[in-house]
Amino acid sequence: MSQPDWAQLAPNAANHAPLSPVSFLKRAARIYPDKTAIIDGDTRLSYRDFEQRAVALAAGLAALGIVAGDTVAVLSRNRHEMLEARYGVPMAGAVMNPINVRLDSRTIAFILGHGQARLLIVDPAFADTAQAACAQMPEPPIIVWMRASDTSLPDTGHAYEDLLGKGRADFAPVTPDDEWAPLTLSYTSGTTGDPKGVVYHHRGGYLAAMSNAMAFEMSASSVYLWTLPMFHCDGWGYVWSVTAVGATHVCLPGIDAARIYDEIEAHGVTHLCGAPIVLNTLIGAFDAAGRTLSRTATFALGGAAPPAAVIRKAGAIGFDITHLYGLTETYGPAALCVRQPEWADLDTDTLAARMARQGVANYAIEDVAVLDIDGAPVARDGAAIGEICIRGHTVMAGYLDNPAKTDEAFADGWFHTGDLAVCHADGYVEIKDRAKDIIISGGENISSLEIESVLYDHPEIGEAAVVAAPDDTWGEVPYAFVTPRPGAALEAETLIDYCRQHLARFKAPKRVVFCELPKTATGKIRKNVLRESL
């Protein structure tokens, strides 16, 4: 028997359009034109305003000569202009390059040059750094300055608000012909060399937005507080997700615990994201001030596994933790710890231990696997360690102009994360360490995360990081770097004894150093800096 002629049912204009997250703003502006889309201090923008300003930005960029495929970089805090650029830049057919605001001028100059940025939109708070970076470039980009509330704009370049009036009134926003076209260019932190340029495509941005909105259970009634830098992995995709559901963005220029509490209470914030340092800061500050939230807010935590103690403390304040796992190369969240109904009956410690796992694949990810050195799945016994490898729709297109690193990352048809993990019987993945952070002492593998989890359980510890230190006898031994909570009176030997009481003795740190922990702009502890200090 012959088969039907399926090939005759080809895609056409009636049933197919390239996916792009830019379409979410058009939809939201049609459905919720008068609803508040953005709250940024005293500024309030409706969805109608939001769309009009994004289109005006695109028209202004076109008037300055920006064409399809050009790179437009943005160096900014979480401001409404940053959100407008997320839509206005691709509406001009360009690729947005959000830059980490904590980077030095040399690194920014490298990023601008490597990404061949034609134009740089700058928050005046970073005027000196931006100008120093451009001074190091043979062909610096055009500079556009956002509005400054407390300082005058530099004499060179263009003013953002003026740019919005430069375009033609009949400008038609560009829509991608190919959903695989580049959407954004995000650079890795570059702690061990020059940063790599991770390329996101429109299709991935669209699916990341939908996936994360579902995982976070967002709706039009949601209010999202920007405690996460928008430059980091497209704000984990929430620059798109919040708009997709017609929710409200609340911009926050920096982490200030008192202001965060006020914003949550004033605007009825329902969702926020951040690295462990952000959550730890809020827990410490709210606890010290005796503050709890009047309504529960869902906090998506990423960057490192939250110790059980942190999950317990967050719950007492009013934060409902959603644990996410991902990387720059996976548009942020690639896995989440999905709560099972039967977990509701677990005691607090057991529940916290379950929630600390990285979990299962997010909606737009096909598979998250833990593979051994031969590429085979490890046993689902919670003990066998392998590397987390990922396949799915929200994996980067590759590294810009770096085919060798791209091929290495995509070896054997998987994206290799470099994270070491186990897989439990229920299929949930649990990170044990970064490959480079496993401590091999006397032939025994010691997980730095296991030691850190014990340290975080101590009531007087605010932050902790454990790294391998060279040792003549054992090869490597664990060293702990600790930031005490305000007012704490800790001693190194006391903490070492505390660890011995909760760990096998060989796993206890051999030395404890009290200090402020160095971090990246996204709150990740820079263990490479700690290792270099040894």
3-state secondary structure 466-495: EEEEEECCCEEEEEEEEEECCCCCCCHHHH
How many domains are there within the chain?
3
What's the pTM? 0.85
Q: Which domain holds residue 483?
A: 438-532
- 268 and 125 belong to one structural domain: no
**Of 183, 203, 223, which closes a domain?**
203
Is 468 a domain residue? yes
- 415 and 504 belong to one structural domain: no
Handedness of CA 180, 182, 184, 188 (dihedral sign): positive
**Of 169, 184, 203, which closes a domain?**
203
- 525 and 451 belong to one structural domain: yes
Is 460 a domain residue? yes
- Domain containing residue 404: CATH number: 3.40.50.12780
CB-based burial of residue 389 (10 Å sphere; 0-12 exposed, 13-18 middle, 19+ buried)? buried
Is 504 a domain residue? yes
Q: What is the pLDDT of residue 503?
A: 81
**Cα–Cα distance, 168 to 158 (Å, whole number):** 17
Q: What is the pLDDT of residue 277?
A: 76
- 295 and 430 belong to one structural domain: yes
- 448 and 306 belong to one structural domain: no
- 422 and 458 belong to one structural domain: no
Q: How many CB atoms lie within 10 A of CB 85?
A: 30
- 94 and 134 belong to one structural domain: yes
Tokens of 474: 């054992």
Is 21 a domain residue? no
Is 80 a domain residue? yes
- 412 and 451 belong to one structural domain: no
Q: What is the pLDDT of residue 151?
A: 66
Beta bridge partners of 121: 74, 144
- 399 and 339 belong to one structural domain: yes
**Of 384, 419, 435, which closes a domain?**
435
Q: What is the pLDDT of residue 445?
A: 66
Is 447 a domain residue? yes
Is 14 a domain residue? no
Q: How many CB atoms lie within 10 A of CB 9?
A: 9
Q: What is the pLDDT of residue 306?
A: 66
Would you give per-residue pLDDT tens digits along the chain (534 residues)? Answer: 889 988 889 889 999 999 999 999 999 999 999 999 999 999 999 999 999 999 999 999 999 999 999 999 999 999 999 999 999 999 999 999 999 888 889 889 999 999 999 999 999 999 999 999 999 999 999 999 998 776 677 878 999 999 999 999 899 999 999 999 999 999 986 544 578 999 999 999 999 999 999 999 999 999 999 999 999 999 999 999 999 999 999 999 999 999 999 999 999 999 999 987 788 889 989 989 999 999 999 999 886 666 667 778 888 999 998 889 999 999 999 999 999 999 988 887 788 788 878 899 999 999 999 999 899 999 999 999 899 999 999 999 999 999 999 999 999 999 999 888 999 999 999 988 776 677 867 656 677 878 998 899 898 999 999 998 887 667 688 999 999 998 888 999 999 999 999 887 878 999 999 999 998 755 678 887 898 888
- 487 and 358 belong to one structural domain: no
Q: What is the pLDDT of residue 280?
A: 85
- Domain containing residue 459: CATH number: 3.30.300.30
- 396 and 457 belong to one structural domain: no
- 297 and 414 belong to one structural domain: yes
Is 500 a domain residue? yes
Residue whose C-alpha is closest to residue 274's, from 39, 85, 524, 77: 524
